[in-house]
Amino acid sequence: MRDAAVSHANAHAVLLGIIAAYGVAQTFSVHLVHKHFDIPEGRIMVYEVVQGSATHPNFVLSTPRASEKCPNARGLYFKAAPGGNMVAYEFTTHPGADLSAHEDFVAAFAEAAVAMGVQDVFALTAISICPENTILTEFELAQALSTILVPDASWLPAGDVAESTTTDWIAGQEYAKYADGSVPGIIQLKCTKTRSNTHYNVTCSTTRSGRHLGHAPNPFPDVPMDSVLSINGEALEEGTEPHAIITRALTMVEVAH
């Protein structure tokens, strides 16, 4: 996944160039097709911007939802299809763009992606969920088949980072002249993998007193439990920003499911 843009440098640049040439970089960007989980049939991945509170900043939660329960979901990431069409494969509740208002651009992008054979490598983002000039870092809630994207990832266990992968690129107007070359975009989203070749993952483990959140098997079923949230084995203290983010996200996942 990390080397996709380098391995398909010309296609990457051409797609950025098309966005720039049509002057739609405020609305569209290039997205790296990647998958975290196999989601249950009948569900769609939906990204939701969660408003901040006194204990945490805004963050984005991506979780699988039943499509019939998301009547207001709109396409966020689109794959190119034959005939100049784009097909949404991940969604958001955040306000977005109407692709029908950009028919010529959409057709040009789709036709180019299909012609270059990169429709399963690069997708089209329709109005990013990222705040402008902000990098969001994504980590997993694997037990809930969900991910969280945060603007400040300084609390993630830095010693375990092996690599970070850019997953979204913006094309400024000046990029149009580079349509035939390799043009690095501006990082908006990134996935970070750890030394064990997995993504950062939040788990809910337990101690021998108190209660359990219910997102992991209880290893001591006959003893009351305290819930302990941890990321890659490092406990997150209650009252801290990361603990507040993850607790809020888990609550929303329970409601969504």
Q: Confirm if 191 and 135 have CB atoms less than 8 A apart.
A: no
pTM: 0.75
Residue 32 to residues 36, 168, 179: CA-CA distances in angstroms? 13, 6, 18
- Enumerate the domain spans of the chain: 4-256
* Among candidate residues 23, 36, 116, the one with its CA nearest the CA of residue 77: 36
- Phi and psi at 204, nearest 5°, equal -115, 105
Give me the pLDDT at residue 88, please: 94
Residue 234 above 70 pLDDT? yes
Measured distance CA(246)–CA(189) in Å, rounded: 19
pLDDT digits (tens, 9 = 90+) for 220-232: 334 333 456 777 6
At residue 115, the pLDDT reads 95
- CA gap 61, 141 in Å, rounded: 10
CA distance 242 to 69: 28
Enumerate residues 6+ apart whose C-beta is below 8 A from 101: none
State residue 175's pLDDT score.
59
- Looking at residue 207, its pLDDT comes to 31
Q: Hey, CA dihedral for 215, 193, 150, 18, is it positive or negative? A: negative
